[in-house]
Chains A and B, each alone.
Chain A
Amino acid sequence: MINAVGRDIPEEIIEMTGKEVFQGVHYRDGYTYKKDGPNTKCVINNQGSKLVENIHEVLVKCGIKDGMTLGFHHHFREGDYIVNMVMKEVHDMGIKDITICASSLGKAHDPIVPYIEDGTITNIQSSGVRGKIGDAISHGKLKGLAIMRSHGGRVRAIESGETRIDIAFIGTPTCDDYGNCRGIGGKSNCGVLSYAMVDGNYADKVVAITDTLVPFPNFPAHISMTNVDYVVEVDAIGDPNKIATGAAKPTTDMRKLMMADYCTEFVVNTPYFKDGFSYQTGVGGASIASTISLAKIMKERNVRMRFGVGGLTKPMCDLLINDQVDCLLDTQDFDLAAVESVKNLKHFRISAGEYADPFNKGAVVNKLDFVILAALEVDVHFNCNVVVGSDGMITGAQGGHPDTAAGAKCTIVIAPLLQGRIPAICTDVTTVTTPGESIDVVITDYGIAINPARQDLIECMKDVNLPFKTIEELRDIAYSMSGEPEKVQFGDRVVGIIESRDGTIMDVVREVKDFTFAE
């Protein structure tokens, strides 16, 4: 069945998943449902201990068995030890047919690939995957389907009961013996535990894993003891060097700086740029440079930001230090400056649900004026792809891309026209992950295209001295340099689905086929 972004979703996938196809960003606005809830084992006796000796013991206590769904978060990013630690034990116990429901998976988790191959893990639900897991899924090694869903979409899936987490493993930088978890302190300080909060609230069994056990009460708790069944102390939950890095040196790449300047010039010429505006940006060089150049203009024009949101980096936290923003809403800390900033009274931790869940009574993304995003590919319909490489391999993550794009009044995507030799602006993206109806502006090093659906923005920019072009013109420039790329050759088997934030099917990802030259 053809969905609203023109993708043909095979009937057997619709049948297998019981899902509808994507029908537009606001299709399920106003939908009513009863939220799911966890099976809860009460603790009334004050003599018991939640402390468990090791991962093996805790798996036994939680009643691990074939076919279960295990939850993980990605606040330790490429420094995470938790997924590998738990899955090794699960594998060694001979458990099969596990579904991993992670907020994201990265190269740090390459060691679980053999467990995919031997059937320990048969389904993966994640924002995205990188490295060898992506390679394994794209080559058809996962028995079931990989479901790629946004940060908001994951909360939706869990809250609605579509995904039931049997056991959630929450790596926590500090924890007391009764399960009060905090993202702050300890050896693996990650600042916040936003993505794990839904696991804490909805998983049947919740296991806190820490390498820094602190005296009770570890308050204020980010995930409360009231939701935690067991606590396991281990030697190390992550590699601090890969959790929060030193603040990235601002880029000196003129191409990125130029795109950042275009972006700032665009932002300040929209009607949304005024006292009290809100803003989110990512961690790419151009995004960070945009924040820096925006801060400069805010100072010059005496414009104040009401709130900044998202995964945070030093330039966003500097806005708070320099009193240019009222508050920051934090879902993830990308560098040590952001981790440090959590101590600021106006730096608020929020859950992934508060941030982006489309199935609650209103999330922060709906209050965003601007979001600055990146993309692997953008097509002439403004559809974006942030998950599947132009070679057909799963190699990225949705993150909050579709959530913020849908919510923000002005969604800006920055992408160099050519990524190496691959055109980033193309006729049709390899895989649609964020629909074009959510994307307002695309900024490249060769020019800027405004979505024709946004005539209001086109009107605002008519006297602005920026290199405006149509999206087709940008594609043509790209193709004039790279040539029109041949389509990636896929096999028939669907190995994954790109789930829209509302749970419908945006696109499917097929098994890659080794490239052969056309006749």
Chain B
Amino acid sequence: MNPNKKRLRRTMMFLNAQKPALIKDPYIYKPDSIMLDLEDAVAQNQKDVARFSLYHALQEIDYHGVERVVRINGLDTPYWQEDVRVCVAGGCDAIRIPKTESAEDVHRVEQAVIAAEKEFGREEGSTLLMAAIESARGVMRAMDVCESSERLFGIALSGGDYTKDMQTHITGTGIELMGARQNMLIAARAAGVQCFDTVYTNLDDMEGFRKDVESIHLMGFDGKSIVNPRQINIVHEIFTPTQKDIIFAEKVVKEIDEKSAQGIGVFTVDGKMIDIAFYDGAKRTISLAKASGVYKGEL
């Protein structure tokens, strides 16, 4: 257990918690996080079976450092409290709260998690939370949700339910998600938490998927929910800084460190005017490159 709110989460792969063949070794595909699902993927009369399978998977399987998030059932169902107990007893890294519409929703789950951490002797605070935003109301209250709990590391858009609420549907163009994506990103950044984009379910259209990921990467998302391991490499490739970006960022960090010691505020790197405002961005590129395993420099 190593709760880390800021870890790299480019990919969160959904897996039905009831399917042993799926949950036995998803780490071989090297996603950043897996999302073991107790909610929509599991039929109502199979919820207890799925919890049983989930508990043993969490207890027995070495996921080789891949973050283990569990999507529990909605707060409007009779299942979620028992889900929370199993998640905590099993020792998952984080819980994803579906259909979150308010800070209150997060608080309810947080209370249940605290109780379970006590009940099962887990360290308090060891179970992180994330909130899925699936409705217009949720999008409008995203800021409240983002600031609701110290345990909350991020919010994620759930496009299917959101577009239904908006009386539209997934078009593949992204136009129907534009408002929600922008609003959630701004809220997440303002609150200092991460923000994740919705799934892309058409596995026959890998080009469409690539375009979708390119666009949400440029928007500023931290990562994307995925439904198939074939999607992992594309996301990681797009979210990994290029060698060109890394070399430039390295120069910027080094030059700023050096020049500021000499009392110089503005200077040029590779012909581009650089000042202190570039520092955080360049540092972020280096740490992303490090986390992605492509940076071998000394910064």
Contacts and interface: CB of A to CB of B under 8 A. Distances in A.
Interface residues of B, number: 8
A254 B24 contact: no
B28 A258 contact: yes
A446 B29 CA distance: 10
A146 B53 CA distance: 45
A228 interface: no
A254 B230 CA distance: 6
A254 B203 contact: no
A252 interface: yes
A445 B26 CA distance: 11
B24 A258 contact: no
Contacts of A254: 29, 228-230
Contacts of A445: 25, 28
A258 B203 contact: no
Contacts of A257: 230
A481 interface: yes
A252 B28 contact: no
A217 to B, nearest CB: 49
Interface string B212-235: 000000000000000011100000
Interface in B13-57: 24-25, 28-29
Contacts of B230: 252, 254, 257
B28 A446 contact: yes
B206 to A, nearest CB: 10
A481 B229 contact: no
Interface in B258-292: none
A97 B105 CA distance: 79
Contacts of A255: 28, 229
B115 to A, nearest CB: 34
A446 B203 CA distance: 24
Contacts of B203: 252
A481 B23 CA distance: 12
B66 to A, nearest CB: 14
A257 B28 CA distance: 12
A300 to B, nearest CB: 16
Rank and list the top 5 A-B pairs by shortest CB-CB distance, nearest first. A254-B229, A254-B230, A445-B28, A254-B29, A446-B28
Interface of B: 24-25, 28-29, 203, 228-230
Given A258-B29, A445-B28, A446-B25, 12 more contacts: A252-B203, A254-B29, A254-B229, A255-B28, A255-B229, A257-B230, A258-B28, A258-B229, A445-B25, A446-B28, A481-B24, A481-B25
18 contacts: A252-B203, A252-B230, A254-B29, A254-B228, A254-B229, A254-B230, A255-B28, A255-B229, A257-B230, A258-B28, A258-B29, A258-B229, A445-B25, A445-B28, A446-B25, A446-B28, A481-B24, A481-B25
